[in-house]
């Protein structure tokens, strides 16, 4: 904004993306210094250990300066960039002004300022710089497809892929006495690769998933119990009501049924809704169930808060909304935090039985296998295991439920009691 010929600058700060998110990483700048930006136009991408999100421009103007480069991690509130609107050329600084310098030309603000930032091919992000150093690359040999010919991470990966196919990789001289093949195979700082392998650097999401999974295995003694559930009652109910739900703009999937049954199990066995500390077990009074959603480059777990207080229609609405926004990358960090229990539907890919890893610091995680028709035996003589004339082989939609739990919190009996409640809730679902 400009007032009385003075430049009003707006500082873009690292946003507080959630109650539990205190820092973020600048993943990618979508604008370069000198570019005009509209208010609320996506300005940069931020990556946290929970989610990746776009940060909109807080004001209209010109991106004057990028303060924090790509790949840098800073705390919430840290200045990232400045936006201004230089509109008058050849103006001079006003020493009496408290609003900022008098409007200079765009060239003097962006190209000639002491805080000048390189643009185009001259700008090398920290991510690209690290890859170039690790692989001993010559930046001049890489074609840049970014703004102003800037070399991006994708350009480096494409160059590495092309180079791996070359029978004679170029030699880069490191010093007057040392030569090294410009191949990651000979780079001691990179993994040892064969001629048919290509190194793809970890994304922030993949790195976070890897760290969390290793931490979980190192933290909790994992035990898995498995039960088989007859989904006939649920399938009949869904077939009878999905049209009615669709008239309300709702997509009735099977996930809301599993969430409702899980909530019933957590009410029955509160220990399954707790976490372990050295001072004792902390029981959660509220039931917040996370549902894992697969993405193209990983997965994310949006949380259904107070799941036990919602009916099937409310769960269907929440599940659909969270899953759709998860795939669009439109979730907020608070929507993927604070869960007290997690469900993962590995059956969507055809898996029958899985042993999922606990989402720390929760007590357990429920895995849902694929629902398939199988022959099962139904008997009219009660619980007897003896052959009977009343035995019949019938076809039923069956599903394996696998409950992985923290053995520091739960023993086999309460773990089975939780899973049995889930099973009985699904098998006894009312058709009305």
Residues contacting residue 156 through CB under 8 Å, at least 6 positions apart = 128, 131, 132, 135, 137, 142
Given the residues 92, 155, 407, 416, the one annotated as active site:
407
Is 411 among the residues known to form the active site?
yes
- Alpha-helical (H) ranges within 92-230 are 106, 126-134, 153-164, 204-219
Calpha distance 135→102 (Å, rounded): 46
Angle between helices 126-134 and 153-164 (to 10 degrees): 20
Task: Tell me the two tokens of residue 293.
Answer: 């959603």
Is 407 among the residues known to form the active site?
yes
Calpha distance 430→432 (Å, rounded): 5
Which run of H or E residues covers position 247? helix 232-247
Q: Measured between alpha carbons, how far is residue 189 from residues 134, 140, 183, 217, 308 in Å?
A: 6, 22, 11, 28, 51
Assess contact for 342 and 286: CB atoms under 8 A. no
What 3-state DSSP class applies to 304?
Answer: strand
Task: Tell me the two tokens of residue 309.
Answer: 């207080």
Given the residues 297, 306, 391, 411, the one annotated as active site:
411
User: Which residues are known to be catalytic?
Assistant: 407, 411
């Amino acid at each position: 904004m400009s007032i009385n010929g003075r430049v009003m600058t707006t500082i873009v700060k690292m946003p507080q993306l959630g109650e539990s998110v205190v820092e973020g990483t600048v993943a990618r700048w979508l604008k370069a210094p000198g570019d005009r930006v509209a208010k609320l136009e996506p300005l940069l991408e931020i990556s946290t250990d929970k989610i990746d999100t776009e940060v909109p421009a807080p004001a209209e103007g010109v991106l004057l300066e990028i303060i924090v480069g790509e790949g840098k991690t800073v705390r919430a509130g840290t200045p990232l960039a400045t936006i201004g609107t230089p509109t008058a050329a050849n103006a001079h600084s006003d020493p009496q002004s408290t609003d900022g310098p008098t409007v200079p030309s765009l060239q003097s603000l962006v190209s000639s300022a002491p805080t000048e930032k390189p643009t185009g091919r001259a700008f090398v992000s920290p991510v690209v710089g690290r890859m170039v150093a690790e692989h001993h690359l010559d930046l001049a040999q890489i074609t840049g497809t970014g703004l102003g010919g800037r070399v991006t991470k994708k350009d480096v990966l494409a160059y590495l892929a092309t180079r791996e196919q070359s029978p004679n990789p170029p030699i880069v001289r490191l010093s007057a006495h040392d030569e090294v093949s410009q191949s990651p195979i000979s780079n001691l700082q990179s993994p040892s690769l064969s001629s048919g392998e290509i190194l793809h650097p970890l994304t922030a999401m993949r790195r976070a998933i890897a760290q969390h999974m290793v931490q979980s295995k190192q933290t909790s003694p994992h035990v898995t119990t498995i039960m088989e559930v007859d989904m006939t009652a649920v399938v009949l109910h869904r077939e009878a009501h999905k049209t009615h739900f669709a008239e309300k703009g709702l997509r009735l999937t099977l996930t809301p049924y599993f969430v409702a049954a899980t909530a019933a199990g957590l009410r029955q066995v509160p220990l399954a809704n707790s976490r372990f500390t050295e001072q004792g077990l902390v029981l959660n009074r509220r039931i917040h169930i996370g549902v894992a959603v697969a993405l193209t480059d990983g997965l994310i777990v949006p949380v259904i808060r107070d799941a036990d207080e919602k009916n099937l229609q409310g769960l269907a609405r929440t599940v659909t909304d969270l899953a759709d926004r998860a795939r669009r990358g439109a979730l907020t960090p608070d929507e993927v935090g604070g869960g007290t229990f997690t469900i993962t539907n590995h059956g969507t890919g055809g898996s029958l039985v899985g042993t999922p890893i606990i989402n720390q610091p929760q007590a357990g995680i429920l895995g849902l296998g694929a629902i398939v028709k199988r022959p099962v035996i139904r008997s009219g003589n009660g619980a007897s295991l003896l052959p009977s004339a009343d035995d019949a082989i019938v076809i039923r939609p069956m599903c394996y439920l696998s409950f992985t739990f923290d053995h520091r919190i739960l023993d086999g009996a309460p773990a089975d009691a939780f899973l049995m409640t889930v099973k009985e809730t699904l098998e006894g679902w009312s058709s009305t």
